[in-house]
Structure 1
Amino acid sequence: MRCDGRLLALNSYENRVYQLGLEEGGFCVVKFYRPGRWSDAAILEEHRFVAQLAEREVPAVPPMEIPGHGTLACLDGQRFAVFPRQGGHAPELDDPDTLSLMGRLIGRIHGVGATESFRHRPHLNLESFGRSARAFLLDNHIIPPELETVYRQVVDQALAGVERCYQRAGHVALLRLHGDCHAGNVLWTDGGPHFVDFDDSRMGPAIQDLWMLLSGDAGSMAAQWERIREGYETFRDFDPRELHLIEALRTLRLIHYSAWIAQRWDDPAFPPAFPFFDSPRYWEDRILELREQIAAMDEPPLL
């Protein structure tokens, strides 16, 4: 594939992703993987999952075969994959029909995801997204000293609330997920949506790929959920006990997100992108956020 010099950096902090113009016409997208994050086996599991979805006509965008390399190539120690470019815009999640379609498509993704398990990619749970993130932030003294004690108290209360939510849910099935199924990872066109960026794909409960489609107050989320659930159950049953996990998973995401930024703070791309991260104001906002989540986790789940 000969490039014609057109180069556009796309919005990605975890990896480096570029749109490249091709001499033969059109474009491709190249993802250069962050060193040390995933093993080759874990990346190839992600590629296999997306390929399985595409084979079953689920609108996901799998990587292309690179002659002599499969879907994962390496040059001078730098691993990369090449994807066809897929344009589109974020879905309009205030449209009930869009929510129903998203539910149907995620139901199909999970139908494929449940057919086998990841062996090399992690699980989404209290330990991986909560306790380990807390430990990194506190053990490395990331929080400003004047706020460290109160942050420690609040994050411990939040994680105790997450544990209670998991206890209320009981045993729920784990399956291969998209893992980061927010509106920015869905590209909508006149022909419908395409799911992209399965880089955070892992084992977890089905609700993880659904709750990020919800927004607003409890009444609004309940109405949105009803449309999503109806679409989802066209293809796959949903275990209602997982509704106990929505606010728990939101809490884990908030804690994990701060640790994710901290772990990559030496990357030159991060300080300009998150200029307030090392300020007291950032952590005051996170403390308030977690206090709100502590209260939310004690509320009844969506019906």
Structure 2
Amino acid sequence: MTDTAFTFQTLNPDTILDALFEQGIRVDSGLTPLNSFENRVYQFQDEDRRRYVVKFYRPQRWNAEQLAEEHQFAHELEIDEIPLAAPLRFANRSVLTHQGYYFAVFPSLGGRQYEADNLDQMEWVGRYLGRIHQTGRRSRFQHRPDIGVKEYLLEPRQLFEQSALVPAALKDDFLKTTDALIDEVMGQWHSRFTMLRLHGDCHPGNILWRDGPLFVDLDDARNGPAVQDLWMLLNGDKAEQRMQLETIIEAYEEFCPFNPEELALIEPLRAMRLVYYLAWIIRRWDDPAFPRNFPWLTGEDYWRRQTATFAEQINVLREPPLQLTPMY
């Protein structure tokens, strides 16, 4: 696959329409782009007025086996009556190909925005996450990676050092702070948890609400600790986060046990996400969509703020981890 394809410059409307036509779908509307930087995702309507979403996966990210594992997990969850958008099968295949691209077609399922500060909705989500992990524990991904410090910290650190996007005058300070953050995480990271298949990116934007939660986008599904799918739902100050965590875990444990030792991984996982997210933007900089949507990355003020953010996270990591209220 060429670099041009990596940036989706060879993906045009005719290519998309031809790919769908090969699967027996005749598009009878325009292709409405949906918000996605990593992949290219479009909503459309066919000649029978049925609504679909088609996702063209970014080349060179996941291979066919890794995509098949994501889809298999989605189909298992669907069988277990978890509300989520699972890819459709065509001739018993959900990982489809056209002109070197992998793509998949999904039913278009609408919903309202999940209310991140609504404890009733949070309880529902906690219950369904318990069910998702109940399914996820049955086996592990064999081709998709595990969440760990190598991919989320060490490889991004090498990228930061090599990247010309980090201003030369600020690079030493930024790298020194990054190293301190990595050292703090490495000192706290442990493996005293059961590795299971996860949603992987379970933030409020990947949950819709339609008389209950609807989970979308398993694109970042990986093996990892259960708390990875819980911590991104927390917001507010420590007291608010503790109340939210207790709400989620109480509902979660109706279907799946939760290991309290994983609570110590919340802030390390947050730090890993901060580092990994920044590296993701840098890796995608050759895609014209990234300079257009992240123009501030080239400014010195951004890198000063990013250094300060990393330093602030170091201080958070040095505080006692979030704990549940003891039960007597």
TM-score (norm. length: structure 1): 0.96
Structure 2 counterpart SS, 1:74: strand
- Asked whether 1:13 is paired with 2:37, we answer yes
> Cα deviations across residues 76-135 of structure 1 (Å, max 9, x unaligned)?
111110000011122112111111111111111111111001011011111111111111
Whether the 8 Å contact between 2:83 and 2:214 is mirrored in structure 1 is yes
Provide the residue aligned with 1:97 in structure 2. 120
2:278 to 241, 251, 258: 258
Partner AA of 1:253 in structure 2: R
**Paired residues of 1:86 and 1:187 also in contact (CA < 8 A):** no
Q: Distance in 1 between matches of 2:125 and 2:109?
A: 18
Q: Of the candidates 234, 238, 251, which is equivalent to residue 214 of structure 1? A: 234
Q: Which amino acid aligns with 1:39?
A: N
Matched with 1:280 is 300
Q: State the Cα deviation string for residues 267-298 of structure 1 (Å, max 9, x = none).
A: 01111111101111111111111111101111
Tell me what 1:57 maps to. 81
2:103 corresponds in structure 1 to 80
> Which residue of structure 1 aligns with residue 220 of structure 2?
200
Q: Deviations over 1:196-237 (max 9, x none)?
A: 100000011111100000011111101111101111111111
Q: Distance in 1 between matches of 2:163 and 2:318?
A: 31
**1:138 counterpart (161, 168, 177):** 161
For 1:73 and 1:260, the matched residues in 2 are separated by: 25
| CA deviation profile, 1:118-166 (whole Å, cap 9, x unmatched) | 0110111111111111111212343110111011110111011111221
Is the aligned partner of 1:179 residue 2:200? yes
1:115 counterpart = 2:135: no
C-alpha separation in 2, matches of 1:137 and 1:164: 21
Contact conserved, 1:91 with 1:188, CA < 8 A, in 2?
yes
Which amino acid in 1 is paired with 2:145?
P
2: CA distance, partners of 1:225 / 1:70: 39
Q: How far apart are 1:173 and its partner, in Å? A: 1.3
Is the Cα–Cα contact under 8 Å of residues 243 and 301 in structure 1 kept in the other structure? yes
Residue 62 of structure 2: SS of its match in structure 1? coil
Q: Which amino acid aligns with 1:30?
A: V
Structure 1 residue 21 displacement after superposition:
1.4
> 2: distance between equivalents of 1:280 and 1:61?
41
| Distance in structure 2 (CA, Å) of the matches to 1:96 and 1:233 | 16
CA contact (8 A) 1:89 1:186 kept: no
Please say if 1:289 is aligned against 2:309. Answer: yes
Q: What secondary structure, in the 3-state scheme, does the structure 1 residue paired with 2:29 have?
A: strand
Q: Give, in whole Å, the separation in 1 of the partners of 2:113 and 2:264.
A: 28
2:31 partner SS: strand
Which among 284, 287, 308 is matched to residue 267 of structure 1? 287
Cα distance in 2 between the residues matched to 1:70 and 1:95: 38
Q: Give the aligned residue type for 2:165.
A: I
Partner of 2:178: 155
Aligned partner letter, 2:74: V
Name the CA distance, whole Å, in 1 between partners of 2:81 and 2:56.
26
Offset at residue 302 of structure 1 (A): 1.4
Paired residue secondary structure (1:179): coil
Q: CA contact under 8 A between 2:124 and 2:212: conserved in structure 1?
A: no
Q: Distance in 1 between matches of 2:252 and 2:116?
A: 15
Looking at structure 2, the residues matched to 5 and 124 of structure 1 have their Cα atoms a distance apart, in angstroms, of 40
Residue identity in the other structure for 1:179: G
Give, as a single letter, the amino acid of the residue that structure 2 aligns with 1:199: D
TM-score, structure 2 normalization: 0.89
- Give the secondary structure class of the aligned counterpart of 1:3: coil
The residue aligned with 2:18 is none
Q: Is the Cα contact below 8 Å between 1:52 and 1:112 reproduced in 2?
A: yes
Identical-residue share of aligned pairs (%): 43
Among 46, 64, 69, which residue is 2:70 paired with?
46
**Runs of 4+ residues over 2 Å off in structure 1:** 139-142
Say yes or no: does 1:249 pair with 2:266. no
Paired residues of 1:130 and 1:255 also in contact (CA < 8 A)? yes
